[in-house]
Amino acid sequence: MKSSSLLAIAGLALGAAAPASAWVLEDCPPEKKAALVAYEQQVRQAQPGSPLYVPHPYPDTLPKLLADLEHSFRETWRTTPEKQVPAEDRRLLEALAGGKVRAVWEPVQDWTFIRCGRPGGLGLGDLVLLRLSDEAGQPLGRFALRESGHWAAAEFPQEGLEAAENRRAEGEFGSAAELASRWRASLAAEPSGAQWVVTHGTVRCPLVAPCLVFRAGGESYIVQRGVLFRLVLGGNLPRASELLSNLPRTAATNAVFAQVELGKRHLVTVGFDRVVFAERVEP
């Protein structure tokens, strides 16, 4: 797993779990941040056999990140007879164990309430998304890990028409700054602060298919599947916990959904419990 062959094939080193310029429009409140710190201590102190254990807590290199991913998958199937383990999982584990993996990775900011922890004090934090292929370049899948090193989500390759639809849904993935620069001409402004994000709302960006966000010309933008939206940061919308839950609707939430249902605006989470409108930018 830590062999030089893996490093030679991957050709990448994992820097900080998040870029120095990482930003969120509503950060976790102090009590949630304290819970995240406590959670980090628990993870770092966890021993083998604990559900919080990973070989390399809060990994800071690519080999450590891949080792944590391999550990998560082996733990998932630990009590399952080998013949019953899905073929795609076995293929992934064989590639990881042999050090024959190519990896493209990017840090991802979690712009949902989950970044600040789940009920009961479980801290989660932000993410790293890995796109893995074998040494021949054949895709192994996309894998999201929390910054702690815990596996969060996976998506394995599909074939035929399903694969084409899957690629369309995922959109492009790679350097956030490079992809944001493609919008320079149409916006007549220099993009900055480009990063990948996970969101909830009607502009939904799941763990294995995050969206690109950046700032340009005094505005903030999000790109979902190649479609550009401007984030409307003014106003005072109800909280995400009111709008995106099963709670009964109120006059305030009805007013918001009236605009969404007319197709004029979309909703997107931008941090702990904040949601804003997003307006499509026509080409």
pLDDT tens-digit readout, 64-104: 999 999 999 999 999 999 889 999 999 999 999 998 899 98
Give the residue among 2, 247, 8, 210 at the shortest CA–CA distance from 110.
Answer: 210
Q: Percentage of the chain with pLDDT > 70?
A: 86
pLDDT of 10 over the 80 cut: no
Average pLDDT over residues 118-140: 80
Whether 136 contacts 128, CB under 8 Å: no
Backbone angles phi, psi at 168, to 5 degrees: -65, -40
Q: Where are the alpha helices (DSSP H) in the chain?
A: 4-10, 30-45, 62-76, 87-97, 160-170, 176-180, 184-187, 240-243, 251-261
Q: Residue 272 CB: number of other CB atoms within 10 A?
A: 23
pLDDT of 11 over the 70 cut: no
Average pLDDT over residues 12-31: 68
In this prediction, residue 168 carries a pLDDT of 44
Residues 130-169: tens digit of each pLDDT: 999 998 888 999 999 999 999 999 999 875 434 444 444 4
Give the residue among 7, 24, 4 at the shortest CA–CA distance from 269.
Answer: 24
Average pLDDT over residues 189-208: 94
Tell me how far apart the alpha carbons of residues 152 and 128 are, in angstroms, rounded to a whole number: 10
pLDDT of 199 over the 90 cut: yes
In this prediction, residue 165 carries a pLDDT of 43
